[in-house]
Amino acid sequence: MFFRGKKKFGFKEDDIALQRSDLVASKAELQEREKEIMKQIAEAGETEVQEAARKMFRIECNEQVLLGKKAILRREEESMRQKSTILQQKEEAMRRSEAISARRNDWLDEEERKITFRKVELRKEEELSKARSRDIDNRVSVLQRREIVFARNCMRSAKQLKTFGSMSTLELPPLPFTNQREESTVNGITRSSSSSSQPSQLRSLEESRMTEEISKSPEPYRKVIDD
């Protein structure tokens, strides 16, 4: 429990000062009584009674002073106990705050490690994506070059066809996007078929194949062939 101003630990410091002032006032009152008694004794002329009354008065004053001091000490002890309790509560709160801060720092470190690991993964994914993009671009460029070569071969074959009027002496260009095994197989069949005893069937097959390939070629390549 915290207090503002002069109010601390459940009581006012002015209470102690008030208690002291009361003791001073009571002492002054007792002194006034002593004066009156002394005056009465002086008037009566009894010296022994005067001394006894003075002693009793002093004893009473000392008892009152001791009682006041005991009350002040009790209040001070109570305030010290309250201060000790408040200090213990503050220490406990500080320990809890330090524990919370330590847990939060551990959590922040773990999150930072996760973020760093995620950044590394993202960089790796970015590098893989760039490599795949380069691979795709290379493949596209290779396919485009193959298409251009195929279109030029078709154009050359078409010019030869216009010049000679027959495809008996033409060499058909290999189809694009085929592997070497298929091309060698086609060439092998062509060579074996060309050496066979049926040239008319071979020419008809070659002419139909040439026409089909030209019709299937892209628009830019058909323009090149027509030119």
For 132-173, the pLDDT digits (tens) are 999 999 999 888 888 888 888 888 888 777 776 555 554 555
Answer yes or no: is 62 within a domain: yes
Q: Which of 101, 130, 165 is the last residue of a domain?
A: 101
Q: Strand pairing of 11-12 and 7-8?
A: antiparallel
Q: Are residues 168 and 96 in the same domain?
A: no
Higher per-residue pLDDT: 10 or 162: 162
Q: Using a pLDDT cut of 90, give the percent of the chain over it.
A: 25
H or E element that contains 8: strand 7-8
Whole-structure pTM value: 0.34
End position of a domain, from candidates 101, 126, 160: 101
Report the b/e string of 86-95 with b at 16+ CB within 10 A: eeeeeeeeee
Name which of 127, 205, 128, 212 is nearest 170 in CA terms: 205
Select the more confidently predicted residue: 72 or 46. 72
Nearest to 193 by CA among 184, 185, 202: 202
Domain ranges, residue 97: 7-101
**Are 11 and 80 in the same domain?**
yes
- State residue 87's pLDDT score: 93
User: Is a pLDDT exceeding 70 seen at residue 70?
Assistant: yes
97 plus 172 within the same structural domain: no
Last residue of some domain: 69, 101, 133? 101
Number of domains in the chain: 2
Q: Residue 64 domain-assigned? A: yes
Residue 111, pLDDT above cutoff 90: yes
- Tell me: do 88 and 163 sit in the same domain: no
How many CA atoms does the CB half-sphere of 88 hold within 13 Å? Answer: 6
- Cα distance between residue 143 and residue 137, in whole Å: 10
Q: Is residue 58 a part of any domain in this protein? A: yes
Q: Which residue has the higher pLDDT, 215 or 99?
A: 99
Please determine, for residue 52, whether its predicted confidence score (pLDDT) is greater than 70.
yes
The answer to whether residue 16 sits within a structural domain is yes
In a domain, 187, yes or no: yes
Is residue 130 included in any domain, yes or no? no
> For 184-204, what is each residue's pLDDT tens digit?
444 444 444 444 444 555 556
Distances (CA, A) of 39 to 30, 51, 160: 14, 13, 162
**CA atoms of 33 and 57, how far apart (whole Å):** 9
Exposure string (b/e) for 55-64, b if CB count within 10 Å is 16 or more?
A: eebeeebeee
Residue 213 lies in a domain: yes
The letter for the amino acid at 176 is P
Does residue 190 form part of some domain? yes
Count Cβ atoms below 10 Å from residue 217 Cβ, excluding itself.
Answer: 19
